[in-house]
Amino acid sequence: MALLIDLPPTLEHQVKVEAEKQKRTPEQVVIERLAQTFADDDVPTVAEVVARIKATPPNPAMITPPQGDLAAALRNGPTDPTFDLKSWEQEWAMAEAELKRINFLNDIAEGRA
């Protein structure tokens, strides 16, 4: 890719001085600096992120102590008097049938069926 850049005089002077020091062309110096600037080396890997998370000590301010028995809370939780299990099961069956139909059509389109 060719790119024409009009540098301010002070920056142009700095690039030329640096190029002379390195016994390189100004273009080579600018290309190297741009490559360093846009390099993806600063992006951590998933393993590095996980390691950083594991190394982070817990923050006591973010921990909420339990306030009772979870199983009992789930058993005794609020109920929806308008909830109709039979209707919900029918709707769920229709949703699953639609997903199967879409998957089948995708399999045909992609040559797997």
pLDDT tens for 77-94 read 888 889 899 999 999 999
Greater pLDDT, 37 or 89: 89
Query: Can you read off the two tokens belonging to residue 18?
Result: 């640096």
CA distances from 71 to 63, 74, 75, 76 (A): 20, 5, 6, 9
Q: Tell me the percentage of the chain whose pLDDT exceeds 70.
A: 98
pLDDT band at 95 (very low <50, low <70, confident <90, very high): very high
As a whole number, the mean pLDDT across the chain is 91
Scored b (16 or more CB within 10 A) or e, 78-90 reads: eeeeeeeeeeeee
Global pTM reads: 0.37
Cβ atoms 7, 15 nearer than 8 A: yes
Q: What are phi and psi of 42, to 5 degrees?
A: -80, -10
Mean pLDDT calculated for residue range 66-82: 89
